[in-house]
Amino acid sequence: MGLRRTRAVVALAGAAVLTAALGACGGDDSGDGGGKTLNVLIGANTQYPAEQQAWQKSISEKFKAQTGAEVKFETFASASDELTKIQTSVVAGSGPDVYAIGTTLTPTAYSTKAFVTLGDEEWKKIGGREKFVPSSLGISGPDEKNQIGIPWVGRPFVMVYNTELLKAAGIDKPATTWDELTAQAKQLTKGDQYGLAVAYKDNFDPWKFIWGMSVQAGNPIVDGKTARITDPATKKAYQTFFGWIGTDKVVDPAAVGWTNSQALAAFAKGKTGYFALTSALAAKALDDGAVKGKWAFTLLPTVPPGATTRPANGVEAASILSGDNLLVADYSKNKDLAFQFVKLITDQEAQLDIYKALGQLPANAAAAQTLTADPKLKAVVEAQGKSVATPFSGAWADVQLALTNAVVQSIPDLAGGSMTDAKIDERLAAAQKAAQSSLDRVK
């Protein structure tokens, strides 16, 4: 979640207060969709726009054949658009019947009380909880009895490595610990060749490294109502993340200004050992680059920095739980049709169709299982199964922003090669204060 999205989340959290009293309005339909239109809001796919339009047309035709109802898709181009649409719709009590939102936005949407809480009847309508990859349900609600999010597609994070460069360096298998990754990156760095590609200036990437390393070390970042950003485990995570470019010098100095797409492009040129945070969506760009036939996905390390094994309280967090959830608006007058549509696009056939069209991983367990036959995707599917949800808290957006700000504020120091422990302590103290303040507000 980037800065713009986070600002919008804060705005939506305010709207939640206004909408808390908003009850359901309008009656339900009979399930017969003849002459009706179902409105669906999803994110615009800027990477594959033509393919997305083709998928929308295909799924609309199938839905009309099943129910007689039309589907009208509305897309949002940014996180701000997405949140504004939710805000205006829940306040007005009208708008899309079905929303496809990012998983980390689910706690904020939950706080509006404007979406259908899924009981046994609703789960039965869409085929039951058991049809989904178990981990994909990890951020559907605060607990199993209060879920609003139905898993649709997943985007688990992995890393990609250059098989040819690792072989040439005498490395027979990719790293499984963060210390091993740093050591291999040093082996791979020589001349204009670097061990790692990292997107330091990306609005979405840095906090994911810090959160993952911290959770693996046993620090959840948010412990109940308490922020733990100044915990030694989290400081070690920042030291490791900054150290790759500052002291280890295994990253191209230009990476201090890279976004994720720029880091991917650098890796695709064939002069980098690892790209440390990516997803299956990168496959097409990799096959279009100089690394075609020379790359493979593997899990991000799951052993924290400074250790050879996870501590007893550490969590095997291979990735944050990432993807999109489907929500049915409580104000919808077409709830039965909405659940029929949700069932259709979460069934095995449709899940494989959207994977083929847009590269989005299935949340449907049977569909995901079929992808394990593709050696390139085995690690991605494994990462999906080992994904861990971020805290289900209305304050999480601010905590995430605080983690990111510690990196943003350090960019000038990293560019000048002057990052010190004292500066890390100073920024973590500020992040701790901001995160705790937000957690206190949601008490």
Note the pLDDT tens digit of each residue in 200-233.
Answer: 998 778 999 999 999 999 999 999 899 999 999 9
- pLDDT of amino acid 111: 81
- pLDDT of amino acid 127: 97
- pLDDT of amino acid 199: 95
Contacts of 422 (CB under 8 A, 6+ apart): none
- pLDDT of amino acid 2: 36
| Least-confidence region, from 59-68, 338-347, 391-400 | 391-400
- With a cut of 70, say whether residue 13 has pLDDT above it: no
Mean pLDDT (the chain, rounded):
88
- CB-CB contact of 122 with 116 (8 Å): yes
- pLDDT of amino acid 27: 40
Average pLDDT over residues 112-128: 95
Distance of CA 224 to the CA centre of its chain: 22
Tokens of 55: 């998928």
- pLDDT of amino acid 78: 65
pTM for the model stands at 0.78
φ, ψ of residue 237 to 5 degrees: the values are: -65, -45
Tokens of 127: 């085929």
- pLDDT of amino acid 269: 97
Query: Per residue in 127-159, pLDDT tens?
Result: 999 999 888 898 999 999 999 999 999 889 999
- pLDDT of amino acid 80: 62
pLDDT band at 3, cuts 50/70/90? very low
- pLDDT of amino acid 29: 46
Average pLDDT over residues 116-122: 97
Query: Per residue in 348-385, pLDDT tens?
Result: 999 999 988 887 889 999 998 888 788 888 899 889 88
pLDDT band at 24, cuts 50/70/90? very low
- With a cut of 80, say whether residue 92 has pLDDT above it: yes
- CB-CB contact of 439 with 223 (8 Å): no
Cα 254-292-300 angle, rounded to 5 deg: 60
pLDDT band at 8, cuts 50/70/90? very low
- 3-state secondary structure labels for all residues of the chain: CCHHHHHHHHHHHHHHHHHCCCCCCCCCCCCCCCCCEEEEEEECCCCCHHHHHHHHHHHHHHHHHHHCCEEEEEEECCHHHHHHHHHHHHHHCCCCCEEEEEHHHHHHHHHCCCECCCCHHHHHHCCCHHHECHHHHCCCCCCCCCCCCEEEEECCCEEEEEHHHHHHCCCCCCCCEHHHHHHHHHHHCECCEEEEECCCCCCCCHHHHHHHHHHHCCCCCEECCEECCCCHHHHHHHHHHHHHHHCCCCECHHHHHCCHHHHHHHHHCCCEEEEEEECHHHHHHHHCCCCCCCEEEECCCCECCCCCCCCCCCCCCCEECCEEEEEEECCCCCHHHHHHHHHHHHCHHHHHHHHHHHCCEECEHHHHHHHCCCCCCHHHHHHHHCEECCCCCCCHHHHHHHHHHHHHCCHHHHHHCCCCHHHHHHHHHHHHHHHHHHHHHCC
- CB-CB contact of 196 with 274 (8 Å): yes
Instruction: Name the nearest CA neighbour of 92 among 77, 112, 70.
Output: 112
- With a cut of 80, say whether residue 325 has pLDDT above it: yes
Query: Per residue in 262-296, pLDDT tens?
Result: 999 999 999 999 999 998 888 878 998 999 999 99
Q: Alpha-carbon distance 327 to 111, whole Å?
A: 13
